[in-house]
Amino acid sequence: MNNAILSATNAKGVYMSKSLIRVILMISVLFFTSACSLVYDKHVQWQTVKPETFPVLYATGFAPISLQKSTHKTQRMLMAIKASKIAAYAELAEQVYGQQVTGKVTMADLLIEDQQLTASVQGIIRGAKVVKSYPVGDVYTTELLLDFEDVYNIYQVNLNRKVIKTVTHF
């Protein structure tokens, strides 16, 4: 065979030998076949994990009955019931998610002109139960209970939190 056909040239025009071409070809074949063996299929089987213990949280909300904005006594009572329940849920949210506190102080001539402090809480409470709801004088009180085992069961149905049980490689 023609020597020019069997050999290749680089940019400077130097001829490579047939054995060098064969070595490069063998190395590239070995590289590509070994890379294919690193890719394989696998089957993952999942198992759910349940915590060992669950905390139980309690919260109490209060609302004044006489300060509710209504002329009817019954409607003021119903509004206070709702307000005390919302206050109890806010307290539960503070326990679960924490509370964000922001402060701001304005100074002029080394004297405090304005001082502000704001607090907020944001979150979703699922699974809370009303333990008691009752009036105490002019204040309506609502007590809530949040059992995290109930919360776990609610989220387990919705999220299917799982861990790897076994892995089978093919």
pLDDT 10s digits, 120-142: 888 889 889 999 999 999 999 99
Higher pLDDT, 1 or 167: 167
**86-91 average pLDDT score:** 94
pLDDT of residue 2: 46
pLDDT of residue 51: 85
Name the token pair of 60: 């109490």
Which residue, chain included where needed, has tokens 């349940």? 50
pLDDT of residue 7: 46
Q: Which residues contact 164 (CB under 8 A, 6 or more apart)?
A: 44, 45, 46, 47
pLDDT of residue 165: 76
- Cβ(58)–Cβ(145) under 8 Å? yes
Number of helical (H) and strand (E) elements in the chain, helices listed first: 4, 7
How many angstroms separate the CA atoms of 45 and 47, rounded? 7
**107-131 average pLDDT score:** 88
Is residue 69 pLDDT above 70, yes or no? yes
Distances (CA, A) of 69 to 65, 73, 153, 154: 9, 10, 40, 37
- Mean pLDDT score of the chain, rounded to an integer? 82
